[in-house]
């Protein structure tokens, strides 16, 4: 991507994100959110994050193939367990990266 396209994208994201954040604060009383949309918003984080994590962990290489010897799968499983028990970002990162490095070392 050219530098111009890259910065264009950043500025567009910035304007769009500001619009989302400012929406109700700026237009209070004039903007009404349908209840069904409000309920749907509650599921955005879980579905988007899972959609980001699962392919990044389970599929490898440029051809996005699933292989049984993919060490990222057990490493992510350990990280998920730590995230569940600790709710701590740093511990989760350390557990996942640590498991991956250990597996690389011994397998």
Nearest approach in angstroms of CB 85 to other proteins is 9
Take residue 51 and report the two structure tokens written for it: 């959609």
Residue 61 in the binding site for other proteins (CB under 8 A): no
With tokens 């749907």, the residue in question is 40
For helices 44-58 and 72-86, what crossing angle results, to 10°? Answer: 150
**46-62: string of b/e by CB count within 10 Å (b at 16+)?**
eeeeeeeeeeebeebee
CB of 58 to other proteins, least distance (A): 6
Binding other proteins by CB under 8 A: which of 35, 87, 105, 107? 87
Where on the chain is the footprint of other proteins (CB under 8 A)?
1, 3, 5-14, 16-18, 20-26, 28-29, 33, 36, 38-59, 64, 72, 75-76, 79-80, 83-84, 87-90, 92-93, 96-97, 100-101, 104
């Amino acid at each position: 991507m050219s530098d111009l396209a890259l910065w264009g994208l950043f500025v567009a994201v910035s304007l769009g994100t500001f619009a989302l954040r400012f929406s109700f604060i700026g237009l209070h009383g004039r903007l009404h959110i349908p209840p069904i949309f409000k309920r749907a918003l509650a599921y955005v984080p879980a579905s988007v994050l899972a959609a980001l994590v699962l392919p990044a962990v389970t599929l490898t290489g440029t051809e996005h193939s699933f292989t049984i010897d993919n060490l990222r799968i057990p490493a992510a499983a350990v990280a998920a367990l730590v995230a569940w028990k600790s709710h701590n970002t740093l511990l989760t990162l350390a557990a996942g990266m640590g498991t991956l490095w250990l597996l690389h070392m011994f397998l």
